[in-house]
Chain A
Amino acid sequence: MNLYALMIGGSAGSFHTVTGILKSLPVHTDFPVFLCLHRLKQLSMGFREVLQANSSLPVVEPEDKTRVCNGIVYLAPANYHMMIENDFRISLSTDEPIYHSRPSIDLCIASAADTYHKNMAGILLSGANRDGTKGFAELKRHNGLCIIQDPHDCEISTMCTSALTAVKPDKLLNTNQIIEFVSLLKK
Protein backbone atom coordinates (compact mmCIF):
# COMPACT_ATOMS: atom_id res chain seq x y z
CA MET A 1 0.00 0.00 0.00
CA ASN A 2 1.01 3.65 -0.34
CA LEU A 3 1.13 4.63 3.27
CA TYR A 4 0.94 8.37 3.87
CA ALA A 5 0.00 8.35 7.55
CA LEU A 6 -0.24 6.10 10.58
CA MET A 7 -2.60 6.80 13.45
CA ILE A 8 -2.56 5.01 16.79
CA GLY A 9 -5.37 5.24 19.32
CA GLY A 10 -5.06 3.85 22.81
CA SER A 11 -6.25 4.19 26.36
CA ALA A 12 -5.89 2.28 29.61
CA GLY A 13 -3.49 -0.64 29.20
CA SER A 14 -1.97 0.52 25.91
CA PHE A 15 1.22 2.15 27.15
CA HIS A 16 3.43 -0.94 26.74
CA THR A 17 2.26 -1.52 23.16
CA VAL A 18 2.68 2.16 22.28
CA THR A 19 6.30 2.25 23.44
CA GLY A 20 6.91 -1.04 21.58
CA ILE A 21 5.55 0.52 18.39
CA LEU A 22 7.63 3.69 18.80
CA LYS A 23 10.79 1.64 19.35
CA SER A 24 10.19 -0.39 16.22
CA LEU A 25 9.46 2.54 13.87
CA PRO A 26 12.46 2.91 11.54
CA VAL A 27 14.57 6.09 11.77
CA HIS A 28 13.80 6.79 8.12
CA THR A 29 10.03 6.57 8.51
CA ASP A 30 8.67 8.70 5.69
CA PHE A 31 5.15 9.34 6.88
CA PRO A 32 3.70 11.14 9.93
CA VAL A 33 2.49 9.22 12.98
CA PHE A 34 -0.48 10.56 14.93
CA LEU A 35 -0.73 9.36 18.48
CA CYS A 36 -4.02 9.84 20.28
CA LEU A 37 -3.87 8.50 23.81
CA HIS A 38 -6.18 9.09 26.73
CA ARG A 39 -4.28 10.15 29.76
CA LEU A 40 -5.00 11.59 33.15
CA LYS A 41 -4.72 15.38 33.24
CA GLN A 42 -2.37 15.29 36.22
CA LEU A 43 -0.02 12.94 34.33
CA SER A 44 0.36 15.27 31.38
CA MET A 45 3.72 16.58 32.54
CA GLY A 46 6.57 14.46 31.33
CA PHE A 47 4.47 12.09 29.24
CA ARG A 48 5.95 13.25 25.96
CA GLU A 49 9.45 12.89 27.41
CA VAL A 50 8.75 9.30 28.44
CA LEU A 51 7.55 8.48 24.92
CA GLN A 52 10.50 10.32 23.39
CA ALA A 53 12.88 8.18 25.43
CA ASN A 54 11.36 5.17 23.67
CA SER A 55 11.35 6.57 20.14
CA SER A 56 13.97 7.14 17.48
CA LEU A 57 11.61 9.64 15.79
CA PRO A 58 10.94 13.06 17.31
CA VAL A 59 7.80 13.03 19.48
CA VAL A 60 6.09 16.43 19.57
CA GLU A 61 2.91 17.86 21.04
CA PRO A 62 1.94 20.02 18.08
CA GLU A 63 0.76 23.59 18.38
CA ASP A 64 -2.45 24.48 16.59
CA LYS A 65 -2.15 24.86 12.75
CA THR A 66 1.18 23.01 12.64
CA ARG A 67 1.98 21.73 9.15
CA VAL A 68 2.26 17.96 9.10
CA CYS A 69 5.76 16.62 8.28
CA ASN A 70 6.94 13.10 7.60
CA GLY A 71 8.98 11.22 10.19
CA ILE A 72 7.46 12.97 13.19
CA VAL A 73 5.26 11.50 15.91
CA TYR A 74 2.48 13.94 16.78
CA LEU A 75 1.15 13.32 20.26
CA ALA A 76 -2.29 14.81 20.89
CA PRO A 77 -1.79 17.33 23.73
CA ALA A 78 -3.57 16.60 27.02
CA ASN A 79 -6.95 18.29 27.29
CA TYR A 80 -7.25 19.10 23.55
CA HIS A 81 -8.81 17.25 20.64
CA MET A 82 -6.42 16.83 17.71
CA MET A 83 -7.72 16.81 14.13
CA ILE A 84 -5.99 16.59 10.78
CA GLU A 85 -7.31 19.15 8.30
CA ASN A 86 -7.36 18.60 4.54
CA ASP A 87 -4.71 21.30 4.04
CA PHE A 88 -2.39 19.00 6.05
CA ARG A 89 -2.34 21.20 9.09
CA ILE A 90 -3.16 19.96 12.56
CA SER A 91 -5.98 21.74 14.31
CA LEU A 92 -6.64 21.46 18.02
CA SER A 93 -9.92 21.96 19.80
CA THR A 94 -11.11 22.56 23.35
CA ASP A 95 -14.64 21.35 22.55
CA GLU A 96 -16.31 19.12 25.13
CA PRO A 97 -14.79 15.71 25.81
CA ILE A 98 -16.44 12.81 23.94
CA TYR A 99 -16.96 9.64 25.98
CA HIS A 100 -15.24 11.59 28.76
CA SER A 101 -12.17 11.79 26.54
CA ARG A 102 -10.20 14.76 25.27
CA PRO A 103 -8.34 14.00 23.06
CA SER A 104 -10.98 11.91 21.33
CA ILE A 105 -9.74 9.01 19.22
CA ASP A 106 -12.93 9.21 17.15
CA LEU A 107 -12.24 12.79 16.09
CA CYS A 108 -8.57 12.20 15.41
CA ILE A 109 -9.00 9.10 13.26
CA ALA A 110 -12.13 10.33 11.44
CA SER A 111 -10.47 13.60 10.47
CA ALA A 112 -7.28 11.81 9.40
CA ALA A 113 -9.29 9.31 7.32
CA ASP A 114 -10.99 12.22 5.57
CA THR A 115 -7.60 13.62 4.63
CA TYR A 116 -5.60 10.48 3.77
CA HIS A 117 -8.44 8.12 2.73
CA LYS A 118 -7.15 4.68 1.75
CA ASN A 119 -3.53 5.73 2.12
CA MET A 120 -3.48 5.50 5.86
CA ALA A 121 -3.47 2.86 8.56
CA GLY A 122 -5.09 3.06 11.98
CA ILE A 123 -4.25 0.91 14.98
CA LEU A 124 -6.67 0.69 17.90
CA LEU A 125 -5.26 -0.58 21.20
CA SER A 126 -6.39 -1.52 24.70
CA GLY A 127 -8.83 0.80 26.48
CA ALA A 128 -11.74 1.02 28.87
CA ASN A 129 -14.37 2.94 26.91
CA ARG A 130 -16.02 3.04 23.47
CA ASP A 131 -13.93 5.80 21.94
CA GLY A 132 -12.53 4.80 18.54
CA THR A 133 -15.52 2.82 17.30
CA LYS A 134 -17.06 5.60 15.20
CA GLY A 135 -13.67 6.77 13.99
CA PHE A 136 -12.55 3.35 12.82
CA ALA A 137 -15.89 2.88 11.06
CA GLU A 138 -15.05 6.10 9.16
CA LEU A 139 -11.57 4.81 8.36
CA LYS A 140 -13.10 1.60 7.01
CA ARG A 141 -15.55 3.60 4.90
CA HIS A 142 -12.57 5.36 3.31
CA ASN A 143 -10.90 1.98 2.69
CA GLY A 144 -8.05 2.81 5.06
CA LEU A 145 -6.23 -0.09 6.70
CA CYS A 146 -7.91 -0.96 10.02
CA ILE A 147 -5.84 -2.81 12.59
CA ILE A 148 -7.42 -3.67 15.90
CA GLN A 149 -5.66 -5.28 18.83
CA ASP A 150 -7.08 -8.71 19.66
CA PRO A 151 -9.33 -8.16 22.72
CA HIS A 152 -7.87 -11.34 24.27
CA ASP A 153 -4.47 -9.67 24.16
CA CYS A 154 -5.71 -6.34 25.60
CA GLU A 155 -5.21 -5.47 29.24
CA ILE A 156 -8.67 -3.89 29.05
CA SER A 157 -10.71 -5.13 26.11
CA THR A 158 -13.72 -2.74 26.10
CA MET A 159 -12.42 -0.38 23.42
CA CYS A 160 -11.40 -3.03 20.87
CA THR A 161 -14.46 -5.20 21.53
CA SER A 162 -16.67 -2.19 20.91
CA ALA A 163 -14.88 -1.34 17.66
CA LEU A 164 -15.20 -4.94 16.46
CA THR A 165 -19.00 -4.69 16.68
CA ALA A 166 -18.91 -1.93 14.04
CA VAL A 167 -15.83 -2.69 11.94
CA LYS A 168 -14.45 -5.77 10.28
CA PRO A 169 -10.73 -5.13 10.71
CA ASP A 170 -8.18 -5.83 8.00
CA LYS A 171 -5.94 -7.26 10.69
CA LEU A 172 -6.68 -8.48 14.21
CA LEU A 173 -3.27 -8.69 15.90
CA ASN A 174 -1.65 -9.14 19.29
CA THR A 175 1.00 -6.77 20.67
CA ASN A 176 3.99 -8.59 19.18
CA GLN A 177 2.36 -8.89 15.79
CA ILE A 178 1.47 -5.18 15.84
CA ILE A 179 5.07 -4.26 16.64
CA GLU A 180 6.37 -6.51 13.87
CA PHE A 181 3.85 -5.12 11.40
CA VAL A 182 4.87 -1.54 12.19
CA SER A 183 8.58 -2.29 11.81
CA LEU A 184 7.92 -3.31 8.19
CA LEU A 185 5.89 -0.25 7.22
CA LYS A 186 7.09 1.82 4.30
CA LYS A 187 5.55 4.50 2.16
Chain B
Amino acid sequence: MFGISIEETNTLIKAIYSHYQIDLSGYTLNHLRFRIRKILDKHFLNKTGILINRLIDDEVFFDDFLYDISGGSTEMFRDPDVWLILRNTILPSISEKSDLLTIWLPRCVSGDELFSIAILLEETGLMARSFIHASTLSYRSLEIISSGIFLKDKMEASINNYHGSGGMNNFNSYFHLKNNLIERETSLIKNARIKKQSLNLIGIPGLCDIILIRNQLLSFKQELKNNILNRVTGALQNGGYLILGEMESLKDCDISNQFSHIFTKEKIYLKTS
Protein backbone atom coordinates (compact mmCIF):
# COMPACT_ATOMS: atom_id res chain seq x y z
CA MET B 1 0.00 0.00 0.00
CA PHE B 2 1.30 3.41 -1.04
CA GLY B 3 4.67 1.99 -1.93
CA ILE B 4 5.27 0.15 1.36
CA SER B 5 5.34 -3.60 0.89
CA ILE B 6 4.45 -6.20 3.50
CA GLU B 7 8.05 -7.50 3.37
CA GLU B 8 9.50 -4.04 4.11
CA THR B 9 7.05 -3.61 6.95
CA ASN B 10 8.07 -6.94 8.46
CA THR B 11 11.75 -6.04 8.14
CA LEU B 12 11.08 -2.82 10.05
CA ILE B 13 9.14 -4.65 12.76
CA LYS B 14 12.01 -7.15 13.19
CA ALA B 15 14.70 -4.46 13.26
CA ILE B 16 12.85 -2.47 15.92
CA TYR B 17 12.23 -5.56 17.98
CA SER B 18 15.81 -6.71 17.93
CA HIS B 19 17.16 -3.24 18.77
CA TYR B 20 14.57 -1.87 21.20
CA GLN B 21 12.58 -5.01 22.21
CA ILE B 22 9.40 -3.19 21.22
CA ASP B 23 7.04 -5.37 19.22
CA LEU B 24 4.99 -3.50 16.64
CA SER B 25 3.61 -6.67 15.06
CA GLY B 26 0.34 -6.19 16.96
CA TYR B 27 -0.56 -3.22 14.77
CA THR B 28 -2.75 -4.01 11.77
CA LEU B 29 -0.68 -4.05 8.59
CA ASN B 30 -2.68 -1.24 7.05
CA HIS B 31 -2.37 1.09 10.03
CA LEU B 32 1.35 0.45 10.18
CA ARG B 33 1.98 0.92 6.46
CA PHE B 34 -0.18 3.99 6.17
CA ARG B 35 1.65 5.62 9.06
CA ILE B 36 5.10 4.56 7.81
CA ARG B 37 4.18 6.26 4.53
CA LYS B 38 3.35 9.46 6.40
CA ILE B 39 6.57 9.27 8.43
CA LEU B 40 8.69 8.78 5.27
CA ASP B 41 7.02 11.80 3.66
CA LYS B 42 7.44 13.90 6.78
CA HIS B 43 11.20 13.29 6.86
CA PHE B 44 11.65 13.35 3.06
CA LEU B 45 12.94 9.77 3.07
CA ASN B 46 12.35 7.64 0.01
CA LYS B 47 13.09 4.18 1.36
CA THR B 48 12.04 2.18 4.40
CA GLY B 49 15.64 0.91 4.66
CA ILE B 50 16.91 4.45 5.33
CA LEU B 51 14.18 4.93 7.92
CA ILE B 52 15.22 1.70 9.68
CA ASN B 53 18.87 2.84 9.84
CA ARG B 54 17.91 6.16 11.37
CA LEU B 55 15.57 4.49 13.87
CA ILE B 56 18.37 2.27 15.07
CA ASP B 57 21.03 4.99 15.17
CA ASP B 58 19.02 7.66 16.90
CA GLU B 59 16.92 7.08 20.02
CA VAL B 60 15.31 10.51 19.92
CA PHE B 61 14.28 9.93 16.32
CA PHE B 62 12.88 6.56 17.38
CA ASP B 63 10.83 8.15 20.16
CA ASP B 64 9.46 10.60 17.62
CA PHE B 65 8.59 7.62 15.41
CA LEU B 66 6.73 5.95 18.29
CA TYR B 67 4.67 9.11 18.66
CA ASP B 68 3.82 9.20 14.96
CA ILE B 69 3.09 5.49 14.78
CA SER B 70 0.58 5.84 17.64
CA GLY B 71 -1.55 7.89 15.26
CA GLY B 72 -5.17 8.69 15.79
CA SER B 73 -5.97 12.37 15.45
CA THR B 74 -8.74 13.44 17.78
CA GLU B 75 -10.24 16.57 19.28
CA MET B 76 -11.48 17.42 22.76
CA PHE B 77 -14.86 16.02 23.83
CA ARG B 78 -15.10 13.88 20.67
CA ASP B 79 -18.52 12.16 20.60
CA PRO B 80 -20.21 14.65 22.98
CA ASP B 81 -22.91 12.14 24.05
CA VAL B 82 -20.29 10.05 25.85
CA TRP B 83 -19.13 13.06 27.86
CA LEU B 84 -22.70 14.04 28.62
CA ILE B 85 -23.31 10.61 30.18
CA LEU B 86 -20.05 10.86 32.13
CA ARG B 87 -21.02 14.30 33.40
CA ASN B 88 -24.64 13.61 34.31
CA THR B 89 -24.73 9.93 35.18
CA ILE B 90 -21.44 8.16 35.74
CA LEU B 91 -19.41 10.71 37.70
CA PRO B 92 -22.30 11.53 40.11
CA SER B 93 -22.97 7.84 40.67
CA ILE B 94 -19.37 6.96 41.48
CA SER B 95 -18.85 10.01 43.66
CA GLU B 96 -21.84 9.01 45.79
CA LYS B 97 -20.31 5.60 46.44
CA SER B 98 -16.65 6.43 47.05
CA ASP B 99 -14.51 9.25 48.36
CA LEU B 100 -11.78 8.92 45.79
CA LEU B 101 -12.25 8.61 42.06
CA THR B 102 -9.55 6.86 40.06
CA ILE B 103 -9.48 7.16 36.30
CA TRP B 104 -7.04 5.55 33.87
CA LEU B 105 -6.36 6.53 30.28
CA PRO B 106 -4.14 3.67 29.12
CA ARG B 107 -3.24 5.06 25.71
CA CYS B 108 -2.79 8.84 25.56
CA VAL B 109 -1.27 10.48 22.50
CA SER B 110 -2.34 14.12 22.17
CA GLY B 111 -3.83 14.64 25.63
CA ASP B 112 -7.23 15.62 24.22
CA GLU B 113 -9.02 12.94 26.25
CA LEU B 114 -7.02 13.70 29.39
CA PHE B 115 -7.80 17.42 29.34
CA SER B 116 -11.45 16.70 28.52
CA ILE B 117 -11.87 14.46 31.54
CA ALA B 118 -9.96 16.97 33.69
CA ILE B 119 -12.33 19.77 32.65
CA LEU B 120 -15.27 17.53 33.47
CA LEU B 121 -13.89 16.83 36.96
CA GLU B 122 -13.26 20.52 37.48
CA GLU B 123 -16.78 21.48 36.46
CA THR B 124 -18.45 18.78 38.54
CA GLY B 125 -16.43 19.78 41.59
CA LEU B 126 -14.74 16.37 41.81
CA MET B 127 -11.22 17.41 40.92
CA ALA B 128 -9.92 17.44 44.50
CA ARG B 129 -11.21 13.88 45.04
CA SER B 130 -9.86 12.46 41.80
CA PHE B 131 -6.71 10.88 40.57
CA ILE B 132 -5.95 10.32 36.90
CA HIS B 133 -3.37 7.92 35.52
CA ALA B 134 -2.39 8.56 31.92
CA SER B 135 -0.06 6.28 29.97
CA THR B 136 1.82 7.21 26.81
CA LEU B 137 3.96 5.19 24.44
CA SER B 138 6.56 7.91 23.77
CA TYR B 139 8.40 10.63 25.70
CA ARG B 140 7.38 13.05 22.97
CA SER B 141 3.73 12.41 23.76
CA LEU B 142 4.40 12.84 27.46
CA GLU B 143 6.06 16.17 26.77
CA ILE B 144 3.27 17.42 24.51
CA ILE B 145 0.62 16.52 27.06
CA SER B 146 2.48 17.95 30.07
CA SER B 147 3.19 21.24 28.33
CA GLY B 148 -0.46 21.74 27.37
CA ILE B 149 0.25 22.19 23.65
CA PHE B 150 -2.94 22.26 21.61
CA LEU B 151 -3.37 22.43 17.86
CA LYS B 152 -5.38 25.44 16.86
CA ASP B 153 -7.19 23.65 14.01
CA LYS B 154 -8.90 21.38 16.54
CA MET B 155 -10.38 24.33 18.39
CA GLU B 156 -13.61 24.82 16.47
CA ALA B 157 -14.68 21.17 16.65
CA SER B 158 -13.62 21.03 20.30
CA ILE B 159 -15.76 24.04 21.26
CA ASN B 160 -18.80 22.55 19.53
CA ASN B 161 -18.20 19.20 21.19
CA TYR B 162 -17.76 20.83 24.59
CA HIS B 163 -21.11 22.60 24.41
CA GLY B 164 -22.74 19.43 23.07
CA SER B 165 -21.40 17.58 26.10
CA GLY B 166 -23.27 19.83 28.53
CA GLY B 167 -20.39 22.27 29.11
CA MET B 168 -21.71 25.67 30.22
CA ASN B 169 -18.49 27.65 30.74
CA ASN B 170 -16.51 29.77 28.35
CA PHE B 171 -14.37 27.04 26.79
CA ASN B 172 -11.59 29.53 25.97
CA SER B 173 -11.00 30.06 29.68
CA TYR B 174 -9.20 26.68 29.76
CA PHE B 175 -6.57 27.98 27.33
CA HIS B 176 -4.05 30.77 27.07
CA LEU B 177 -1.85 32.15 24.33
CA LYS B 178 1.90 31.69 24.62
CA ASN B 179 4.25 32.82 21.84
CA ASN B 180 1.29 32.87 19.47
CA LEU B 181 0.46 29.22 20.28
CA ILE B 182 -2.61 27.98 22.11
CA GLU B 183 -1.82 26.12 25.29
CA ARG B 184 -4.11 24.36 27.71
CA GLU B 185 -4.07 25.33 31.39
CA THR B 186 -1.78 22.71 32.86
CA SER B 187 -3.24 23.34 36.33
CA LEU B 188 -6.08 21.13 35.06
CA ILE B 189 -3.82 18.09 35.08
CA LYS B 190 -2.04 18.71 38.37
CA ASN B 191 -3.74 15.59 39.79
CA ALA B 192 -2.73 13.46 36.84
CA ARG B 193 0.19 11.08 36.79
CA ILE B 194 1.46 10.84 33.23
CA LYS B 195 3.79 7.96 32.59
CA LYS B 196 5.49 6.32 29.62
CA GLN B 197 4.40 2.72 29.43
CA SER B 198 5.02 -0.23 27.13
CA LEU B 199 2.63 -1.20 24.36
CA ASN B 200 1.23 -4.16 26.27
CA LEU B 201 0.77 -2.08 29.44
CA ILE B 202 2.92 -4.03 31.85
CA GLY B 203 2.61 -2.40 35.28
CA ILE B 204 -1.02 -1.36 35.62
CA PRO B 205 -2.16 1.15 38.25
CA GLY B 206 -4.33 0.04 41.20
CA LEU B 207 -8.05 -0.53 40.86
CA CYS B 208 -9.82 2.15 38.83
CA ASP B 209 -13.40 3.40 38.68
CA ILE B 210 -13.26 4.45 35.03
CA ILE B 211 -11.02 3.35 32.18
CA LEU B 212 -11.23 5.40 29.04
CA ILE B 213 -9.60 3.83 25.98
CA ARG B 214 -11.36 5.25 22.98
CA ASN B 215 -10.26 4.65 19.39
CA GLN B 216 -6.73 3.67 20.37
CA LEU B 217 -7.39 -0.05 19.96
CA LEU B 218 -8.44 0.54 16.35
CA SER B 219 -4.77 0.39 15.36
CA PHE B 220 -4.31 -3.12 16.70
CA LYS B 221 -5.00 -6.59 15.43
CA GLN B 222 -7.67 -8.53 17.26
CA GLU B 223 -5.09 -10.49 19.26
CA LEU B 224 -3.32 -7.45 20.78
CA LYS B 225 -6.64 -5.69 21.30
CA ASN B 226 -7.81 -8.74 23.24
CA ASN B 227 -4.62 -8.87 25.33
CA ILE B 228 -4.78 -5.18 26.18
CA LEU B 229 -8.43 -5.48 27.17
CA ASN B 230 -7.58 -8.43 29.42
CA ARG B 231 -4.96 -6.35 31.16
CA VAL B 232 -7.10 -3.26 31.42
CA THR B 233 -10.01 -5.25 32.87
CA GLY B 234 -7.71 -6.43 35.65
CA ALA B 235 -7.28 -2.80 36.68
CA LEU B 236 -11.00 -2.07 36.86
CA GLN B 237 -13.16 -2.37 40.01
CA ASN B 238 -16.37 -4.36 39.93
CA GLY B 239 -18.96 -1.68 39.28
CA GLY B 240 -16.38 0.33 37.33
CA TYR B 241 -16.83 1.59 33.80
CA LEU B 242 -14.94 0.75 30.62
CA ILE B 243 -15.43 3.23 27.80
CA LEU B 244 -14.44 2.37 24.23
CA GLY B 245 -14.78 4.35 21.00
CA GLU B 246 -18.23 4.47 19.42
CA MET B 247 -17.29 2.06 16.61
CA GLU B 248 -15.46 -0.41 18.86
CA SER B 249 -16.87 -3.34 20.80
CA LEU B 250 -15.98 -6.25 23.08
CA LYS B 251 -17.05 -8.74 20.42
CA ASP B 252 -14.65 -11.71 20.12
CA CYS B 253 -12.87 -10.62 23.34
CA ASP B 254 -12.17 -12.92 26.32
CA ILE B 255 -13.51 -10.48 28.89
CA SER B 256 -16.80 -9.64 27.18
CA ASN B 257 -18.86 -11.68 29.67
CA GLN B 258 -17.45 -9.69 32.61
CA PHE B 259 -19.29 -6.62 31.44
CA SER B 260 -22.81 -5.45 30.90
CA HIS B 261 -23.26 -3.08 28.00
CA ILE B 262 -25.18 -0.27 29.65
CA PHE B 263 -24.99 2.47 27.02
CA THR B 264 -25.13 0.69 23.70
CA LYS B 265 -24.44 3.45 21.21
CA GLU B 266 -21.77 5.10 23.35
CA LYS B 267 -19.93 1.82 24.08
CA ILE B 268 -19.94 2.27 27.83
CA TYR B 269 -19.58 -1.02 29.69
CA LEU B 270 -20.12 -1.73 33.38
CA LYS B 271 -17.88 -4.35 34.96
CA THR B 272 -20.09 -6.85 36.73
CA SER B 273 -17.69 -9.65 37.70
* Interface of A toward B, CB cutoff 8 Å: 61-65, 77, 80, 83-87, 89, 91-96, 107, 110-111, 114, 134, 138
Contact = CB atoms under 8 A, between A and B. Distances in A.
Contact of B247 (A77, A96, A110): A77
B42 to A, nearest CB: 12
A93 B72 contact: yes
Contact of A93 (B29, B71, B225, B252): B71
Contact of A85 (B29, B217, B225, B248): B29
B101 to A, nearest CB: 27
Interface of B: 1-2, 6, 28-31, 34-35, 71-74, 215, 217-219, 221-222, 225, 245, 247-249, 251-252
Contacts of A61: 247
B187 to A, nearest CB: 28
30 contacts: A61-B247, A62-B247, A63-B247, A63-B251, A64-B247, A77-B247, A83-B34, A85-B29, A85-B221, A89-B222, A91-B28, A91-B30, A91-B218, A92-B218, A92-B247, A93-B31, A93-B34, A93-B72, A93-B219, A94-B73, A94-B215, A94-B218, A95-B35, A95-B72, A95-B73, A111-B1, A114-B1, A114-B30, A138-B1, A138-B2
A147 to B, nearest CB: 21
B1 A94 contact: no
Nearest to B222: A65
B214 to A, nearest CB: 9
A110 B1 contact: yes
Nearest to A95: B71
Contacts of B31: 83, 91, 93, 95
Given A62-B247, A94-B245, 15 more contacts: A63-B248, A64-B249, A83-B30, A86-B6, A87-B221, A91-B31, A91-B219, A93-B31, A93-B34, A94-B73, A94-B215, A95-B72, A110-B2, A111-B30, A114-B30
Contacts of B251: 63, 65
Nearest to B244: A64
A111 B6 CA distance: 12
Nearest to B225: A65
A110 B2 CA distance: 8
B34 A107 contact: yes
Across the A-B interface, the 3 shortest Cβ-Cβ residue pairs? A83-B30, A96-B73, A111-B30
Contacts of A83: 28, 30-31, 34
A131 to B, nearest CB: 14
B199 to A, nearest CB: 17
B113 to A, nearest CB: 12
B213 to A, nearest CB: 12
Contacts of A91: 28, 30-31, 218-219
Nearest to A66: B251
